[in-house]
């Protein structure tokens, strides 16, 4: 009976450790930065690990009121590429942050905790 209780207490302790490490990891995600470009470098988008757009640069030659659709498409492409490039960095950061706290479970993706 006491063995099961000790196991439960150990599990609760590990959950507290995990919660603490996840909070710390989440706070650190702001420091993970990724920049991507589209239109041959004419649009550059910078995002951070908290999935926030933190910078957008547009070459002045692209600013044409008669062709705003192209500019919109290039902005969307640059932002989406930056977020896509960011995903592996977030996963690597979270894996390091929880190393030793969680068992190595193939396919376990903690990226959903950071949304």
Q: What is the pLDDT along the chain (115 residues), one digit of tens a residue?
A: 555 666 666 667 777 777 787 788 888 888 999 999 999 999 999 999 999 999 999 999 999 889 999 999 999 999 999 999 999 999 888 888 777 665 555 555 555 554 4
| Residue for token pair 């932002």 | 79
For residue 6, what are its two tokens? 């000790």
pLDDT at 96: 84
pLDDT at 76: 97
DSSP one-letter string for 17-48: HHHHHHHHHHHHGGG-EEEEEETTTTEEEEEE
pLDDT at 101: 62
Task: Indicate the pairing of strand 53-58 with strand 43-48.
Answer: antiparallel
CB atoms within 10 A of CB 86: 21
pLDDT at 110: 53
For residues 19 and 65, give the distance between their C-alpha atoms in angstroms, rounded to a whole number.
49
């Amino acid at each position: 009976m006491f063995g099961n209780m000790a196991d439960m207490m150990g599990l609760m302790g590990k959950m507290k450790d995990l919660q603490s490490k996840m909070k710390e990891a989440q706070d650190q995600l702001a420091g993970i930065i990724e920049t991507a470009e589209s239109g041959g470098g004419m649009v550059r988008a910078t995002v951070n690990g908290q999935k926030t757009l933190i910078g957008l640069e547009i070459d002045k030659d692209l600013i044409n009121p008669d062709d705003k659709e192209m500019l919109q498409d290039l902005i969307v492409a640059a932002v989406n590429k930056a977020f896509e490039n960011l995903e592996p960095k977030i996963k690597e950061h979270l894996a390091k942050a929880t190393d030793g706290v969680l068992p190595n479970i193939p396919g376990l993706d903690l990226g959903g905790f950071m949304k």
